[in-house]
Chains A and B, each alone.
Chain A
Amino acid sequence: MTRDPALSVDGLSVDYPLSSGGLFRRARSVTAVSDVSLQIAPGETLGLVGESGSGKTTVGRAILRRVPASAGRISFEGKDITHLRGDALRKLRARMQLILQDPYTSLNPRMTVADIVAEPLLVHGLVASRAEAAREVRGLLDRVGMPADAADRYPHSFSGGQRQRIGIARALALKPSLIVADEPVSALDVSVRAQVVNLMQDLQRELGIAFLFIAHDLAIVRHISHRVAIMYAGRIVEVAPREAIYERPVHPYTEALLSAVPVADPPVQRARRRIIHPGEAVDIADPPSGCRFHPRCPIATERCRDEVPPLEPKAEGHMAACWNRGGVMGLRMKVHS
């Protein structure tokens, strides 16, 4: 059975201007995201992983229509939203919400928790009165495990984990069907991180919310995601169901990334083979030709330098962009052709 995806992104590119043009000067820009395609089913969590500058945050912002797409198409619940404006865009924003990394800067310090959570309800006219808003807020705070007396206090009196719960309550207020969570637990301490991760999983089970979970922590992503997409230098290099990515990675970059994450188990960690590539993440303003990973890749060939590898099926539900890793599907297709 295939359901309509909650979100479908096709060939998305996003340019950021570096300098504006002049009379005799062309405007310069950097392409932060190139030709990204992904789908998220209703109630599914897609983990989007990459290192700094890989473009993962930009993908999230483009989906929420906070930065304009320079190419490609974004569909949400079956509707093209790439160029929505005005009222239609406002209505859309109620259905898609954002949870940010830093719960210290994403809550207005001069508003009470009740006002913070009620604001979207009032802005979108979903409640008739302040009294109704207060009732809703009580329900939402309870839903995210905050005590009832939190409503009248200010953000500064809460810990990081509690602030992140407040941010989640605010995101839930409009009953969204998709939440983009951009590094929602990276700023939290380990013991508190688990509380927030568990909360997000409970909410998904109960409310059927789809998550785009943007993170650099591969262990958290494995825990929370159904499928995982790996980004490198503005492109998706591999996307597959969770088990397939972690147990049978295809792309050399995914392999290197996974092998670099230390496992919290001493005998296991000592025995692991680490693939440590020289060099660092690419300069996105001047990316390498062809496959952007080729300067660091141990199996790169001539072709990798010249041609961009397409993101293509390598196994059931498993896509990767690599010329030199055929995978099961690649072999099968060769036999048929």
Chain B
Amino acid sequence: MNDPLLEIDDLRVDFDTRAGLVQAVRGVSLTLGRGETLGLVGESGSGKSVTAQAVMGLIDVPGRIAGGAVRWNGMPLVGEGVRRRPRRIWGREITMIFQNPMTSLNPLMTVGAQLGEVIHLYLGLRGAAARTRAAELLDAVGISGASRRLDQYPHEFSGGMRQRVMIAMAIASEPRLLIADEPTTALDVTIQAQILELLAGLQEKLGLSIILITHDLGIVAGLCHRVAVMYAGQIVETGTVDDIFARPGHPYTQGLIRSTPRLDAVEDRLVSIDGTPPGLRTPPEGCAFRPRCPAAQAACHAPQRLASHGAGHVACCRAGVDAWDVGAA
């Protein structure tokens, strides 16, 4: 296998809050290859966005990197071993788009001016050349009438079009990794389909790697090559998308898949995972999912480690294939 583009190694992120120390990310390790799309799946508070922010160098007070490292092409980027803040990577080689494009765009600047800033900063172009490049970018993300649209303000764009503008800004520097944090959650489903198609097309054309953060398993199924499932600040399972959906190894992953109703079938009753995720001020010893797990045993009180479930597929649980059938019986 060739060297990974991005390596996350035992990353820990803490937040100092008035209520105490919150351990948002508790030892996450991941690798991402070139041209690969990784889905980072989990519920609110599972640490998926914080992990991405750490990779982007966006963790700021009251948060801090409490341990571990992120390496880019083998070079330390975050955490251990970093000597100088490597700003040339962030925003240029690694870019990010967010859930709400309205709050990410400056309402007082035209779209052309905002694109122009990025183009000047990363490509060194000005004036007519910058404007031509900006129009090309809008065209590349499927915005028609690009030269006219450049002079408009963000409020003149619909939600889907704003997200396209964000994507245009994110690919302006010809990055190698795009982190998309719930990029379609605020959009209607037909617009979501357009944006996902755009991302897939750009990946193919530009050879981008993508980290896609989402809670929607359908989006993962359609777009991702590999999946990492997060729970309570840890990765509980990773594998290829086909493997994870066909043979989920962790009871949490199994429960997630079976509690999601399907468009193409009707279940009598959804599997429901009782209870709620634990608070991360005092993360539980051992398996964090234990209090909600139908197959929990005494051994689950001990610290868990990811173990192999087949080629490229690891999960931190050996409970067996179908915890929820056991639970229902």
Contacts and interface: CB of A to CB of B under 8 A. Distances in A.
Nearest to A162: B276
Contact of B188 (A161, A198, A263, A281): A281
Nearest to A50: B188
B257 A52 contact: no
Contacts of A274: 193, 197
Nearest to B189: A260
B81 interface: no
Binding site secondary structure of chain A: helix
A260 B193 contact: yes
B264 A263 contact: yes
Contacts of A189: 43-44, 215
A329 interface: no
Interface in B219-236: 219-222
A160 to B, nearest CB: 8
Given A194-B273, A280-B160, A218 B189 contact: yes
Given A189-B43, A222-B261, A276-B194, A195 B189 contact: no
Interface in B271-302: 271-274, 276
Interface in B190-224: 190-194, 196-197, 215-222
A193 interface: yes
Interface stretch (A30-38, A126-134, A264-272): A264-272
A216 B259 contact: no
Given A223-B266, A262-B218, A269-B218, A280 B158 contact: yes
Contacts of A303: none
A280 B262 contact: no
B261 A219 contact: yes
B267 A223 contact: yes
A331 interface: no
B266 A261 contact: no
B271 A194 contact: yes
14 contacts: A161-B276, A190-B215, A191-B43, A192-B273, A192-B276, A195-B274, A216-B188, A218-B189, A260-B192, A262-B221, A263-B264, A264-B217, A268-B221, A280-B190
Given A194-B272, A195-B273, A276-B190, 9 more contacts: A159-B276, A190-B260, A194-B259, A197-B261, A197-B270, A261-B263, A262-B218, A264-B260, A280-B188
Interface of A: 51-52, 159, 161-162, 189-195, 197-198, 201, 216, 218-220, 222-223, 242, 246, 256-270, 274, 276-277, 280-281
